[in-house]
Amino acid sequence: MTVKNIEKAKAERDITMRRYSTYRKTPTFVSTVRRGFTLLELLIVIAIIAIIAGMLLPALNRVREKANGIDCVSNQKQIQQALSSYVDDNQEYFPAYSNISAAGDGFTSTWIDTIYKGNYLKGGAVFFCKSHRTRKATDFDAKYISDPLSVYPSATFVNVSYGYNSFYLGCSLMLPDATQSNWITPAKRPQIRKPSETISLVDTVNLSKPHQGSCFCVPCIDESFLNGGFAGQPDPRHSGGCNIAWSDGHVSQVSNIDRKNPFLSDPFRKGNTDGDANNYWDRK
């Protein structure tokens, strides 16, 4: 190898080593300091979460309300089926909305007790609507759900979510010829003029004691009867609508009900003229 070649080789080696050295020594930035979020970044993240929650919550509430409504329809179907089976077995009579003592000095049981005693329903969960939010759950609920008759009879007067059309099915109090002696006579199925349009059960609330729940009887007549403090009135708690079981057995939701006075809205006002020849729900 000539001197010239040797020098050339050395020069190339030096260049290669410098390159290698440069490559190896190229600094790479690795922070050894852990940096947290700044306050601004945290606020931005919180704001984004709040916006997303704000968009999702109404949708979630709508889904939950829809599920509650479906659950309520199922409850009413089961109760109405129990009522229909009772009617089948009892010479077409609907159950009396209440029974009174032989001495006539007080209620001894309700239509609810009657259908449980006849084994037409099992368990009490079907009497609670999940959208009945003014009602406060109590110890009573657990006993009632497992065995309604364990709290028989007084507890079934209150704290349930559905009312029975007591005046037109459960008794004849408001019929033109009603007298004190026959006012607990229930209707017979063939006496109902329009079964598919006559309320049997409805979502109710007791305005006197909304925390306690609605009463068992719903006078679909007018608000004056409610002053007694134990009766429930229709409660449009499903997005402004009420679920209703009709006396022919079907269940549907009725919307656009006057919240302040549901008795001004159909179908409740149809039974609002007691004794009138046009009273929609008078018996045949």
Rule CB under 5 A: choose which of 129, 160, 171, 220 binds Zn ion.
Answer: 129
User: Which CB sits closer to Zn ion, 72 or 126?
Assistant: 72
Instruction: Decide: is 218 part of the binding site for Zn ion (CB under 5 A).
Output: no
User: Which CB sits closer to Zn ion, 136 or 193?
Assistant: 136
If you count them, how many residues does the chain have?
284
User: Which CB sits closer to Zn ion, 203 or 274?
Assistant: 203
Q: Report the run of H or E that residue 119 belongs to, with start and end.
A: none
Q: Give me the least distance between CB of 40 and Zn ion, in Å please.
A: 47
Q: Give me the least distance between CB of 118 and Zn ion, in Å please.
A: 24
Instruction: Decide: is 173 part of the binding site for Zn ion (CB under 5 A).
Output: no
Q: Give me the least distance between CB of 53 and Zn ion, in Å please.
A: 27
Tokens of 182: 């026959």
Q: Give me the least distance between CB of 167 and Zn ion, in Å please.
A: 21
Q: Dihedral of CA 60/141/231/207: which sign?
A: negative
Q: Give me the least distance between CB of 106 and Zn ion, in Å please.
A: 30
- Candidates 276, 152, 133; CA nearest to 216 is 152
Instruction: Decide: is 171 part of the binding site for Zn ion (CB under 5 A).
Output: no
Instruction: Decide: is 235 part of the binding site for Zn ion (CB under 5 A).
Output: no
Dump strand ranges (E) for the chain: 98-100, 107-110, 162-165, 199-205, 217-218, 233-234, 242-246, 251-254
Cβ pair 198, 281 in contact under 8 A: yes
Binders of Zn ion among 183-202, rule CB under 5 A?
A: none
Tokens of 210: 């909304």
- For residue 140, CA distances in Å to 7, 143, 147, 160, 219 come to 104, 5, 11, 11, 25
Specify which residues 162 forms β-bridges with.
Answer: 203
Binders of Zn ion among 243-262, rule CB under 5 A?
A: 243
Q: Give me the least distance between CB of 281 and Zn ion, in Å please.
A: 21
Instruction: Decide: is 72 part of the binding site for Zn ion (CB under 5 A).
Output: yes
Identify whether 176 is preceded by a cis peptide bond (ω within 30 of 0): no
User: Which CB sits closer to Zn ion, 75 or 247?
Assistant: 75
Instruction: Decide: is 203 part of the binding site for Zn ion (CB under 5 A).
Output: yes
Given the rule CB under 5 A, which residues bind Zn ion? 72, 129, 203, 243
